[in-house]
Structure formats: structure tokens, C-alpha cells
């Protein structure tokens, strides 16, 4: 009897130790996460002949909704004043349940504006955004990722954003996708399918390098993978490539999340609270400030500039 009681006691203590140990062990961080953000709505050109802002938006929206991706689109409202039909892509975006944010009225460089001009650029966009349906549109993406020519200008802009209740849409993964917009229009004009295939291959290689580049810096800066925020643009080529890009991220182990979800990570504390002290901009800025050597990556610009030479790009309609 004593032997049985002693054995039962030892087993009970062992189970308790296991349970206490599991409670005391820190939870493992979640898997890789990435948020897609798309700049220059309702139009990023030039666009190929036969396409319209509405058809381009339709392609982007279809790719996102089919894949169940909660992307944010950042709006330059001046197009809706100059070409009223460009309101349709914005309505389609909102109608699909995709969120919109502020990208400045006319996509101007911050370093070329006074604080008052910057505030006008910000506020002038709000009428369009406030009519875009439910959702938090008070996210701001700096045009050209230009946060100012010096710390004084950067600080002034951040105070304006804070006063208007904005959060900053950071960029922590990027592969300069905008560089493919004009070459694709040229190659479409020439009906050069082999050249378009080369564009596709370079795009996917650049996106893959972008993953490696961002993850390498994040691990050096934070000792972990932060949730990443990817910068893309609303173009005809983006619409063509988005299904493959989304599959690339998923095959690399990423879960696609919303911008607010990604930036709930402490790494973005100074972005969601622009009234707070600013850290160096992005992963690259932080790495340079700490003397971290940037990983090598391919410069695709020469090849993109050379492809389909002499082909006329369709003008922005």
C-alpha cells in the first residue's frame, strides 16, 4: 500500500512539474508575417494601351480578394479632380472590402514643402478617404518615402500627422517594383512576349531577394523576424504578377496580415505614434545608424531600362 501511495505521489509531482514548466516557458513567437501595401491609387503609370485605371484596379483587386489578402491602398486624390472617372477604382477597392489610406493629395516630396503645405496635402485627401466606407483610413504613406531633408522637417511633419490622428505606414520590405511599370508598357506595345517573360523572371527574383535582404537586417537589428510591411504599386504589371508574388510569400512561410496587425509589433512603436521620438527610417536607416553592413542585392535598373528599347509607352491617360 505504501509503495502504491509513494508511486502515485511521485507521478503527481511529475505531472505538476511538467505543467508548471510549460507555463513558465515563454511562448514561441508567431510565424513569419507580412502585410501588403499598394501605393499610388487610383493610377500608377504609364499603363499599356488597352488598359484603363479601372481595369488595372480590377486586376489588383481580383488577385487580392481571391487570395484573401487584407491589403491597404494609398491614395493620391488629385487624379479624381483631374480625371473624375478615376473615382471608380477607389469605389471598387472599397467595395471589395479593402482599406484605403492617405498618400498625399499630389504625391509631392516632403523635402520640397513647408509644414503648412504638407498639412494641406494631407488634409485635402481626407474628403475622398472619408467617403470610402468603413475602415481606418488615418494611415499615411510618405510619397517617395521622403520623410524630409533634415530632422527638423521630419519632426514637424510627424507632429502634424500626430495632431490629425495619423499613423505612419512604414516600409520594411521593398524591391522597387515600380521599376517594372514602364518597361512592361513598352513590351506590351511591341507585343514582345519573350521580353515580358524576362520581366516576370526578374520581378520574381527581385521579390525573393527582397525577402532575404529584409530578413537579414531584421535579425541583426532585433534578433528575430519582425512582421514586415511590403511596398507595392497599383500598376498593370503588378496586377499580372500579384498571384505569383502572394504565392512566393506563402511558400516562404509568410502569413499575409493587415497593416494594423503588422504594425502592432513593438518594432513599429514610433510609426503608430508619430508624436513620439523618431527612430532612423526603416530597416536600412536603422542598420546604417548602427554601422551594420547592408546585404548585397541585384540592381535590376540597367536591364529594365534596356529591355524593349524604343517602344513607346502608353501615356498616363
CA 137 – CA 169 distance, rounded (Å): 11
Average pLDDT, the chain: 90
Residues 206-257: tens digit of each pLDDT: 999 999 999 999 999 999 999 999 999 999 999 999 999 999 999 999 999 9
Distances (CA, A) of 108 to 24, 74, 243: 52, 14, 30
Q: Residue 2: pLDDT band by 50, 70, 90 thresholds?
A: very low
Give the DSSP H or E segment for 12.
Answer: helix 2-24
Q: Residue 82: pLDDT band by 50, 70, 90 thresholds?
A: very high
Per-residue pLDDT, 62 = 98
DSSP state of 134: S
Alpha carbon 247 to its chain centroid, in Å, reads 16
Per-residue pLDDT, 29 = 47
- The residues with which 220 forms a beta bridge, in sequence order, are none
Q: What percent of the chain has pLDDT over 70?
A: 88
Cis peptide before 46 (omega within 30 of 0): yes
Position 112 pLDDT exceeds 70: yes
Query: Could you tell me whether strands 72-75 and 139-140 are parallel, antiparallel, or unpaired per DSSP bridges?
Result: unpaired
Residues 272-305: tens digit of each pLDDT: 999 999 999 999 999 999 999 999 999 999 999 9
Greatest alpha-carbon span in the chain: 95
Instruction: Out of 24-33, 71-80, 141-150, pick the least confident.
Output: 24-33
CA 165 – CA 185 distance, rounded (Å): 39
Would the CA dihedral through 33, 276, 222, 147 be positive or negative?
Answer: positive
DSSP state of 223: S
Instruction: Out of 3-7, 83-87, 95-99, 198-202, pick the least confident.
Output: 3-7
Third-level CATH fold of 33-178+227-279: TIM Barrel (3.20.20)
Residues 162-189: tens digit of each pLDDT: 999 999 999 999 999 999 999 999 999 9
Position 8 pLDDT exceeds 80: no
CA atoms within 13 A on the CB side of 203: 25
Position 315 pLDDT exceeds 50: no
Position 154 pLDDT exceeds 50: yes
Residue-range domain boundaries for the chain: 33-178+227-279
Highest mean pLDDT among 102-111, 134-143, 308-317: 102-111
Amino acid at each position: 500500500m505504501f509503495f502504491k501511495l509513494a508511486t502515485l505521489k511521485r507521478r503527481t509531482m511529475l505531472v505538476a512539474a511538467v505543467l508548471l514548466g510549460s507555463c513558465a516557458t515563454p511562448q514561441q513567437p508567431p510565424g513569419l508575417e507580412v502585410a501588403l501595401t499598394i501605393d499610388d491609387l487610383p493610377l500608377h503609370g504609364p499603363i499599356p494601351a488597352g488598359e484603363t485605371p479601372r481595369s488595372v484596379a480590377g486586376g489588383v483587386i481580383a488577385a487580392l480578394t481571391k487570395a484573401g489578402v487584407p491589403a491597404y491602398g494609398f491614395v493620391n486624390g488629385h487624379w479624381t479632380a483631374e480625371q473624375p472617372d478615376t473615382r471608380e477604382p477607389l469605389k471598387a477597392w472599397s467595395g471589395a472590402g479593402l482599406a484605403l489610406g492617405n498618400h498625399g493629395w499630389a504625391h509631392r516630396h516632403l523635402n520640397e514643402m513647408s509644414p503648412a503645405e504638407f498639412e494641406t496635402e494631407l488634409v485635402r485627401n481626407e474628403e475622398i478617404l472619408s467617403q470610402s466606407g468603413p475602415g481606418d483610413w488615418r494611415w499615411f504613406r510618405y510619397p517617395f518615402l521622403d520623410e524630409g531633408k533634415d530632422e527638423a522637417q521630419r519632426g514637424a511633419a510627424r507632429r502634424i500627422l500626430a495632431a490629425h490622428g495619423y499613423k505612419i505606414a512604414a516600409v520594411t520590405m521593398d524591391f522597387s517594383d515600380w521599376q517594372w511599370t514602364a518597361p512592361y508598357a513598352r513590351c506590351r506595345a511591341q507585343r514582345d512576349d519573350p521580353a515580358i517573360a524576362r520581366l516576370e523572371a526578374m520581378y520574381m527574383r527581385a521579390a525573393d531577394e527582397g525577402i532575404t535582404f529584409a530578413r537579414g537586417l531584421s535579425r541583426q537589428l532585433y534578433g528575430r523576424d519582425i512582421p514586415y510591411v511590403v511596398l507595392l504599386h497599383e500598376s498593370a504589371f503588378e496586377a499580372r504578377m500579384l498571384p505569383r508574388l502572394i504565392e512566393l510569400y506563402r511558400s516562404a512561410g509568410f502569413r499575409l496580415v493587415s497593416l494594423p496587425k503588422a504594425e502592432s509589433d513593438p518594432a513599429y512603436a514610433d510609426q503608430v505614434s508619430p508624436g513620439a521620438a523618431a527612430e532612423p527610417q526603416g530597416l536600412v536607416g536603422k542598420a546604417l545608424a548602427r554601422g551594420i553592413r547592408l546585404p548585397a542585392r541585384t540592381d535590376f535598373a540597367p536591364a529594365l531600362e534596356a529591355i524593349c528599347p524604343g517602344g513607346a509607352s502608353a501615356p498616363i491617360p
